[in-house]
Amino acid sequence: MNDAMNDSSQHAGTELLAGQPVRIVERDGVRYTLLGTAHVSLASVQAVEEAIGSGQFDAVAVELDPQRLVALTNPNAMAQLDLVEVIRKGRVALFAANLALAAYQRRLADQLGIEPGAELKRAVTLAKEDDLPVHLIDRDVGLTFRRVSQRLGLFGKIKLIAGLGAGLFSSEDVGEDEIEKLKQGDMLESSFGEFAKESPALYETIIGERDRYMATRLRQEHDSAQRNVLAVVGAGHLAGLARYLETDNEPPAQVREQLESVPKKRNVPWITLTILAVVLAGIGIGFWKGGMNMGAQMLAIWALYTGGLAGLGALLAGSHPLSILTAIAVAPFKPFRLSIPTGAFAALVETRLRKPTYQDFLQLRDDAQTLKGWYRNRVTRITLTFMLTNLGSMLGLWLTGFSVYGKLAG
Same domain, yes or no: 292 and 199: no
Position 145: which residue type?
F
User: What is the chain's mean pLDDT, rounded?
Assistant: 79
Strand bridging mode 22-27 / 30-37: antiparallel
Q: Helix 92-112 and helix 176-184: axis angle, to 10°?
A: 110
What pLDDT, on the 0 to 100 scale, is given for residue 198?
61
For residue 194, what are the contacts with CB-CB under 8 A and spacing of at least 6?
Answer: 163
Cβ pair 381, 375 in contact under 8 A: yes
274 with 247, same domain: the answer is: no
One domain, residues 335 and 251? no
Please report, rounded to a whole number, the percentage of residues in the chain having pLDDT higher than 70.
69
Both 7 and 153 in a single domain?
Answer: yes
Higher pLDDT, 360 or 212: 212
Question: How does residue 275 score in pLDDT terms, banded at 50, 70 and 90?
Answer: low
Considering the domain architecture, whether residues 253 and 324 belong to the same structural domain is answered as no
Q: Would residue 392 count as lying in a domain?
A: yes
Domain presence at residue 384: yes
Comparing 20-29, 181-190, 311-320, 324-333, the range with the smallest average pLDDT is: 181-190
Residues 330 and 390 in one domain: yes
Mean pLDDT check: name the lowest of 26-30, 119-123, 341-345, 364-368: 364-368
**C-alpha atoms less than 13 angstroms from C-alpha of 2 in its C-beta half-sphere:** 8
Which residues have CB under 8 Å from 191's CB, separation 6+?
100, 101, 104, 164, 167
In a domain, 265, yes or no: no
More confident residue, 9 or 117: 117
Q: Does 330 reside within a domain? A: yes
At which of 260, 287, 310 does a domain end?
Answer: 260
pLDDT at 286 (0 to 100): 64
Which pLDDT score is estimated for 129?
A: 94
Which domain-ending residue is among 214, 238, 260? 260
**Residue 147 within a domain:** yes
Last residue of a domain, one of 260, 295, 321: 260
Are residue 303 and residue 244 in the same domain, yes or no? Answer: no
pLDDT tens, position by position, 238-248? 888 999 999 99
- For residue 49, what are the contacts with CB-CB under 8 A and spacing of at least 6? 122, 126
Residue span of the structural domain in which 87 resides: 3-260
Residue 213's Cβ-side half-sphere holds a number of Cα atoms within 13 Å equal to 26
Cα angle value 181/232/141 (rounded, 5°): 70
43 and 8 part of one domain: yes
Per-residue pLDDT for 305 more than 50?
yes
pLDDT number for residue 351? 92
Query: Are residues 310 and 238 both part of a single domain?
Result: no
Query: How many independent structural domains does the chain possess?
Result: 2
Same domain as 225, residue 116: yes
Residues 282 and 152 in one domain: no
Both 316 and 274 in one domain: the answer is yes
* Stretch among 92-96, 214-218, 368-372, 376-380 having the lowest mean pLDDT: 92-96
126-173 pLDDT tens trace = 999 999 999 999 998 888 878 877 777 666 666 666 666 655 555 555
pLDDT interval class at 389 (50, 70, 90):
very high
Span 346-365, average pLDDT: 85
